[in-house]
Amino acid sequence: MKTPLSFIFCLLMISGNATYAQQNAYARPSKSTTREFIETAKFYRINRDWNVVAEFKSGYDEYVRFFPVEVINLKNNQKIKALGLDMYVLGMKKKKKKGFETAWIGLDEIQEFITFIEKHILPNLNLKFKKKSSKFIFHAKEMTMSYSVREKKRRLTIDMNNYHLVDGVGNTSSFNFWTETQIDKLPKLLEVLKKIK
| CATH 1.10.10 for domain 37-196 | no
pLDDT at residue 8 in the model: 46
The pLDDT of residue 92 is 56
Q: pTM for the complete prediction?
A: 0.78
Which of 97, 105, 94 has its CA nearest to residue 58? 94
Rounded CA separation 148/185 (Å):
15
The model's pLDDT over 104-135, given as tens digits with 9 standing for 90+, comes to 999 999 999 999 999 999 999 888 888 888 99
Report domain extents, the chain. Answer: 37-196
Confidence of residue 90 (pLDDT cuts 50, 70, 90): confident
Name the CA dihedral angle for 31, 118, 86, 74, rounded to a multiple of 10 degrees: 60
